[in-house]
């Protein structure tokens, strides 16, 4: 293994040789840098942003907040970090999460390993030397045995190509590329396109600030209240008391959204469900809803009661029945698009300065210098916000020109949809790992925990390779194909494919319709079994080691 290399601050590095390059300095990348350094590898991190934090660096729109409780949305692997950091809110806001990422990077002394403001443009596998040549947009060139893509599932913004958008003279923002400097909407007429999690969080905040807010909605979403509040000493005490049990449960946990009992569970009586949902609504948060009943995400009848319940809440909250109807999701199941978590979202439509435009009835035709024109109306605006989401899960992986064996690009290898064994590795791309890649739980549930698991898996695998003198790891075609089929089969047994969600890639024109995350239970168990069975389904190469030995 190469000697440890440290970054020269600000320098454009070239000619660096290291064991592993980690692309991305979000929570997955930071932990990968720490862990791989800990097992004795020389590592180098490359990050497009000027700072750590990944998606939490960029998504600084008003109201940006995590929908996983903060006490759980933290690194579980380090008791020290846990002791030294104290979350202030039940659901942490973007600023606090970014501070936590900065704290972790400083505390673990990771910044010296990372080159910021640097995008990876290309990664090419040099078959002869069994090394990856990583080239950056700043002209840097690194050579590494392993590449860990910690590029995140929600990092490439999707901006729809609406005719005339380039002519708009007012300010244009995207929630996922919000400016660093404060944005004031005071006295402004603002339009917002998109009512997914980001839009639903931003709308109440912008409505309070702006003179007028016009919401352009294509698909109404299910949303439940966050009931965010400051954490009390008692909350912290009770979390600490349960910490050991929580960590043990994580160890046993299989992630996944759909438990094995989902397919055999009884249909609970409607009034029992309704009562339970009422309690969950008062408690706040999405976690309780998504596991309210084992079959909620597989049984249409059970699911429909939850959908009815939320629609009833919308009718109760929104005073204008026509607006309430337009805000009510119909025609797709509850919870199979990411369930949104909000603060005063539906109530915001009772404000006199907020107008909902139903794009199903009057689609946007064009944007002009100072307005959005729908099929029916003309909306003059000073600013436009796109809350239109991401090219999710595969977007950031495919944004890099990755070339594996025989020069085959990842884009070509995935032209019909992503193919990755366990969501970690792909045939033809040896020693290239994706953290929370397609075919793993990835964006489902607590992404920090999912990242940690992948990093630990990779570190264990690289240790195994070093002990046995193995040079490369790559999945076998059959193992990969079987896994990809299994991921699709599991999804098909649920209600998930019945909604046009970004989980299926349908929000991006031309993207193959493939359910990307692994939704079943049993992911960790399967990974563990595969390792115990001598890395079943993987092929290890030894040639690099022979060359290394010959050189020494």
Longest pairwise C-alpha distance within the chain: 78
CB of 288 to ligand NA7, least distance (A): 17
- Closer residue to ligand NA7, CB minimum distance, 285 or 430: 285
Tell me how far, at minimum, the Cβ of 502 lies from ligand NA7, in Å.
5
Q: Residue 171 or residue 359: which is nearer to ligand NA7 going by CB?
A: 359
Residue whose CB is nearest to ligand NA7 in the complex, by number: 196
Nearer to ligand NA7, 390 or 538 (CB): 390
Q: Which is nearer to ligand NA7, 136 or 388 (CB)?
A: 388
Nearest distance from C-beta of residue 178 to ligand NA7, angstroms: 11
Nearer to ligand NA7, 145 or 311 (CB): 311
Shortest Å distance, C-beta 425 to ligand NA7:
25
Q: How far is the CB of 365 from ligand NA7 (least distance, A)?
A: 12
Q: Which is nearer to ligand NA7, 194 or 430 (CB)?
A: 194
Which residues 6+ apart lie within 8 Å of 165 measured at CB? 172, 367
Q: How far is the CB of 65 from ligand NA7 (least distance, A)?
A: 10
The answer to whether residues 364 and 216 touch, using CB atoms and an 8 Å cutoff, is yes
Handedness of CA 47, 49, 55, 56 (dihedral sign): positive
Binding interface with ligand NA7 (CB under 6 A): 154, 160, 175, 193-199, 218-219, 338, 359, 387-390, 502, 507
The closest of 99, 70, 105 to 87, measured between CA atoms, is 70
48, 175 Cβ separation under 8 angstroms: no
Give the containing element (helix H, strand E) for 372.
Answer: strand 371-374
* Alpha-carbon gap, residue 493 to 486, rounded angstroms: 11
**CA atoms 94, 98, 99, 104: torsion sign:** positive
Rounded distance, CA 87 to CA 291, Å?
A: 25
The residue assigned the tokens 């009931």 is 227
544 near 145, Cβ under 8 Å? yes
- In DSSP terms, 223 is beta-bridged to 340
Q: Which phi and psi (to 5°) does residue 5 adopt?
A: -120, 135
Q: Considering the complex, state which of residue 195 and residue 446 has its C-beta at the smaller distance from ligand NA7.
A: 195
What is the rounded distance in angstroms from the CA atom of residue 448 to the CA atom of residue 56? 12
Nearest-approach distance from CB 291 to ligand NA7, in angstroms: 17
Residue nearer to ligand NA7 on the CB measure, 175 or 446: 175
The distance of closest approach from Cβ of residue 377 to ligand NA7 in the complex, given in angstroms and rounded to an integer, is 15
Closest C-alpha among 118, 189, 141 to residue 15? 141
Estimate the crossing angle of helix 27-38 against helix 94-107, to 10 degrees. 10
CB of 101 to ligand NA7, least distance (A): 16
What's the CA gap between 210 and 60, in Å, rounded? 18
Nearer residue to ligand NA7 within complex by CB, 105 or 341: 341
């Amino acid at each position: 293994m190469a000697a440890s290399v440290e970054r020269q601050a600000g320098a454009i590095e070239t000619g660096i040789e290291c064991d592993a390059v980690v692309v991305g300095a979000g929570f997955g990348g930071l932990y990968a840098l720490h862990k791989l350094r800990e097992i004795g590898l020389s590592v180098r991190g490359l990050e497009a942003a000027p700072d750590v934090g990944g998606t939490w660096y960029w998504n600084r729109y008003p109201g940006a907040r995590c929908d996983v409780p903060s006490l759980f949305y933290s690194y579980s692997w380090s008791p020290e970090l846990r002791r030294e950091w104290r979350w202030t809110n039940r659901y942490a806001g973007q600023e606090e999460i970014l501070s936590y990422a900065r704290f972790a990077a400083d505390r673990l002394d990771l910044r010296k390993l990372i080159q910021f403001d640097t995008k990876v443009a290309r990664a090419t596998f040099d078959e002869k030397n069994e090394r990856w040549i990583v080239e950056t947009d700043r002209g840097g060139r690194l050579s590494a045995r392993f590449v860990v893509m910690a590029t995140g599932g929600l990092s490439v913004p999707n901006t729809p190509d609406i005719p005339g958008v380039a002519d708009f003279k007012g300010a244009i923002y995207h929630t996922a590329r919000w400016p660093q400097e404060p944005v004031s909407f005071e006295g402004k007429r603002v339009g917002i396109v998109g009512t997914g999690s980001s839009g639903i969080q931003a709308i109440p905040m912008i409505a309070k600030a702006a003179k007028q807010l016009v919401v352009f909605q294509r698909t109404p979403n299910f949303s439940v209240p966050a009931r965010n509040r400051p954490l009390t000493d008692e909350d912290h005490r009770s979390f600490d008391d349960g910490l050991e049990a929580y960590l043990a449960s994580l160890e046993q946990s299989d992630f996944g959204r759909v438990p094995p009992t989902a397919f055999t569970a009884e249909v609970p009586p409607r009034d029992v469900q309704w009562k339970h949902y009422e309690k969950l609504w008062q408690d706040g948060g999405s976690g309780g809803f998504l596991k309210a009943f084992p079959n909620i995400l597989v049984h249409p009848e059970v699911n429909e009661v939850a959908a009815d319940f939320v629609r009833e809440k919308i009718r109760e909250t929104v005073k204008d029945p026509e607006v309430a109807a337009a805000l009510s999701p119909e025609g797709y199941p509850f919870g199979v698009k990411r369930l949104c978590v909000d603060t005063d979202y539906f109530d915001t439509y009772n404000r006199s300065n907020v107008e909902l435009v139903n794009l199903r009835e009057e689609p946007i035709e064009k944007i002009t210098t100072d307005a959005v024109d729908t099929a029916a109306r003309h909306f003059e605006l000073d600013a436009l916000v796109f809350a239109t989401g991401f090219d999710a899960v595969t977007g950031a992986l495919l944004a890099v020109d990755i070339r594996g064996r025989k020069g085959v690009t990842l884009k070509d290898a995935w032209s019909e949809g992503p193919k990755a064994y366990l969501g970690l590795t792909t045939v033809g791309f040896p020693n290239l790992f994706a953290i929370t890649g397609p075919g793993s739980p990835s964006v489902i549930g607590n992404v920090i925990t999912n990242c940690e698991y992948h990093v630990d898996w990779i570190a264990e695998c690289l240790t195994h390779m070093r002990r046995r003198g193995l040079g490369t790891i790559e999945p076998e075609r059959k193992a990969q194909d079987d896994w990809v089929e299994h991921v699709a089969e599991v999804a098909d047994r649920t209600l998930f494919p019945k909604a046009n969600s970004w989980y299926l890639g349908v929000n991006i024109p031309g993207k193959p319709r493939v359910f990307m995350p692994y939704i079943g239970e049993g992911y960790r168990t399967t990974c563990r079994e595969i390792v115990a069975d001598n890395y079943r389904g993987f092929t290890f190469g030894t040639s690099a080691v022979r060359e290394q030995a010959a050189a020494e």
